[in-house]
Amino acid sequence: MKNILFTVEYDGTGFVGWQRQPGQRSVQGELEKGLALLLDQPIELLASSRTDAGVHAYGQKTNFIADFPMPVAKIRRAINGFLPDDVIITQVEEVPMEFHARFSAIGKRYVYKIIRADERRIFDRKYALTVTRSLDVEAMNRAAQFFTGTHDFKAFSGKNGQINKSTERTIHSMTVSEQPQNAVHIEVVGNAFLYKMVRMMTGSLLNIGYGKNPPEAIGQILEGKMKRIGNTAKPQGLYLVEVYFDQEKLRRTL
Amino acid sequence: MKNILFTVEYDGTGFVGWQRQPGQRSVQGELEKGLALLLDQPIELLASSRTDAGVHAYGQKTNFIADFPMPVAKIRRAINGFLPDDVIITQVEEVPMEFHARFSAIGKRYVYKIIRADERRIFDRKYALTVTRSLDVEAMNRAAQFFTGTHDFKAFSGKNGQINKSTERTIHSMTVSEQPQNAVHIEVVGNAFLYKMVRMMTGSLLNIGYGKNPPEAIGQILEGKMKRIGNTAKPQGLYLVEVYFDQEKLRRTL
Q: Where are the domains of chain A?
A: 2-103, 106-242
Which of B11, B40, B52, B136 is catalytic? The answer is B52
* Alpha helices per DSSP H over B41-178: 72-80, 137-145
> Kind and range of the H or E element at A130?
strand A129-131
* Residues of A with Cβ-Cβ distance to B119 under 8 angstroms: 80, 88, 90
Closest CA to A61 of A36, A15, A93: A93
Residue B252 pLDDT:
62
Q: Chain B: residue nearest A85 by CA?
A: B122
* Residues of B with Cβ-Cβ distance to A120 under 8 angstroms: 80, 85, 88
- Chain-chain contact of B86 with A122 (C-beta, under 8 angstroms): yes
Mean pLDDT to the nearest integer, A114-131? 95
Which CA distances in Å does A226 have to A155, A213, A229?
9, 11, 9
Answer yes or no: are the C-beta atoms of A196 and A230 closer than 8 Å: no
Chosen from B8, B76, B80, B122 to mutate, greatest number of chain A CBs within 10 A = B122
pLDDT (tens digit per residue) in B195-220: 999 999 999 999 999 999 999 999 99
- Is a pLDDT exceeding 60 seen at residue B253? no
Sign of CA dihedral A82, A83, A85, A87: negative
Q: Could you tell me what percentage of chain A is helix, strand and coil, using 3-state DSSP and rounding each to the nearest 5? A: 25, 30, 45
- Chain-chain contact of B125 with A88 (C-beta, under 8 angstroms): no
What amino acid is encoded at A237 in this protein?
A: G
Mean pLDDT to the nearest integer, B105-129? 96
- Looking at the complex, does the CB of residue B124 fall below 8 Å from at least one CB of chain A? no
- Chain-chain contact of B11 with A56 (C-beta, under 8 angstroms): no
How far does the CA of residue A232 sit from the closest CA of chain B (Å)?
20
Mean pLDDT to the nearest integer, A31-40? 93
- Chain-chain contact of B85 with A122 (C-beta, under 8 angstroms): yes
Mean pLDDT to the nearest integer, A197-201? 98
- Looking at the complex, does the CB of residue A120 fall below 8 Å from at least one CB of chain B? yes
pLDDT (tens digit per residue) in B166-195: 999 999 999 999 999 999 999 999 999 999
- Looking at the complex, does the CB of residue A67 fall below 8 Å from at least one CB of chain B? no
* Residues of A with Cβ-Cβ distance to B123 under 8 angstroms: 11, 56, 127
Residue A163 pLDDT:
63
Tell me, yes or no, if the two domains B2-103 and B106-242 fold the same way: yes
Q: How far is CA B142 from the centre of its chain?
A: 23
pTM value is 0.90
Please give the CATH topology (third level) of the domain spanning A106-242. Alpha-Beta Plaits (3.30.70)
- Chain-chain contact of B122 with A85 (C-beta, under 8 angstroms): yes
- Chain-chain contact of A123 with B11 (C-beta, under 8 angstroms): yes
- Select from B90, B125, B127 the Cβ nearest to the Cβ of A123: B127
- Select from A10, A85, A123 the Cβ nearest to the Cβ of B120: A85
- Looking at the complex, does the CB of residue A241 fall below 8 Å from at least one CB of chain B? no
How far does the CA of residue A91 sit from the closest CA of chain B (Å)?
12
Q: Of the given ranges (A175-189, B11-25, B78-92, B148-162), which has the lowest mean pLDDT?
A: B148-162
Residue A254 pLDDT:
55
- Chain-chain contact of A56 with B119 (C-beta, under 8 angstroms): no
Answer yes or no: are the C-beta atoms of B101 and B57 closer than 8 Å: no
A52 catalytically annotated: yes
Answer yes or no: are the C-beta atoms of B43 and B68 closer than 8 Å: no
- Chain-chain contact of B120 with A88 (C-beta, under 8 angstroms): yes
- Chain-chain contact of A123 with B122 (C-beta, under 8 angstroms): no
Q: Chain B: residue nearest A86 by CA?
A: B122
Residue B67 pLDDT:
87
- Looking at the complex, does the CB of residue B50 fall below 8 Å from at least one CB of chain A? no
Residue A44 pLDDT:
95
Answer yes or no: are the C-beta atoms of A174 and A202 closer than 8 Å: no
Helix or strand or coil: residue A123?
A: coil
- Assigned CATH class of A2-103: alpha beta
Q: Which residue has the higher pLDDT, A94 or A250?
A: A94
- Looking at the complex, does the CB of residue A13 fall below 8 Å from at least one CB of chain B? no
